[in-house]
Structure formats: C-alpha cells, structure tokens
Structure 1
Amino acid sequence: MSEEKQTAGDRREKLRQKELRSASSGIHGSNLSDLVGSLGWKGTGILILVIIIGLIAASYFFN
C-alpha cells in the first residue's frame, strides 16, 4: 500500500508499532506498565501478592 492510500488510522498504527519496536530494543525498553500489560489481571494480582508476602517475610526475618 502506498503512503497516499493509507488512512490516518493505518499511519498511526504503523508509527505506534515502530515506536514499540524501537523502545523494546533499547536499554530502557521495559517498564512496569509493559510487565503489567503482558501479565493480565490475574498475573498482576499474583505479582502484587508475592511482593507483599516477600516484604512481610523480610520484615519478619530482619527484626
């Protein structure tokens, strides 16, 4: 498809995909929102639960 025939939505999606590819290849490409977005709500809940349990266990062992 040539550049003239692309709709505005197609151009935006193409730019978004290009940004995602360039951001993931850099040092600062992954962040918390990427992690949470890929896990889904169940995975996010489990991650939060593990962090809380880890903090409780650490406070128990270091006191």
Structure 2
Amino acid sequence: MSEDKETPERTRERLRQAELKRNPTGNMNDTFNKAGTGNLADLAGSLGWKGICILILIILMGFILSSIFFK
C-alpha cells in the first residue's frame, strides 16, 4: 500500500479534528448532547485539557461536598 494514500478512517478523523478546531463551542454543545449516549472520547476531545481539568475539579468538589453534608 502506498504511503501517500489516506485511508477513509484517517480522512474522517482528520476532517473531524479540523472541524473541532474551527468551531469549538458548537462542537462542545454537540459533544455534551452526545455524552448522554456514552461517547466520552468526543467529550474529552472537544473540551481540551483546560475543560477536562475544570470538569475533574467540579466532580471532586461535588464528591467532597456530598461527603461533608451527607454523612
């Protein structure tokens, strides 16, 4: 197989990543809606590292607050 040919899977992934970079807020909304169906990879991909850190902090704060108030 020639190295200059791109497989359809790689083409789709490259186009998806390009769309995420062009329109991050619209894709974040789409990803949150898709997250209800269990697609965690799209959620993490659209949030980026800052969004993931904020999400982890919110989860940790919720766990700590629930353990304090609901002993």
* TM-score of Structure 1 vs Structure 2, range by shorter chain: 0.5 to 0.7
Change over 3 Å in CA distance of 1:11–1:35 after alignment to 2: closer
Structure 1 residue 47 corresponds to structure 2 residue 44? no
Change over 3 Å in CA distance of 1:56–1:33 after alignment to 2: same
Rg comparison, structure with higher value: 1
- Please list every run of 5 or more consecutive structure 2 residues that lacks an aligned counterpart in the other structure: 16-33
1:1-63 equivalences in 2 (<5 Å): 8-9=5-6, 11-12=8-9, 13-14=11-12, 28=37, 30-63=38-71
Q: TM-score, normalized by length of structure 1?
A: 0.57
> How large is the RMSD of aligned CA atoms in angstroms?
2.7
Q: TM-score, normalized by length of structure 2?
A: 0.52
Higher RCO (CA 8 Å, separation ≥ 6 residues): 2
User: Percent of aligned positions with the same letter in both sequences?
Assistant: 45
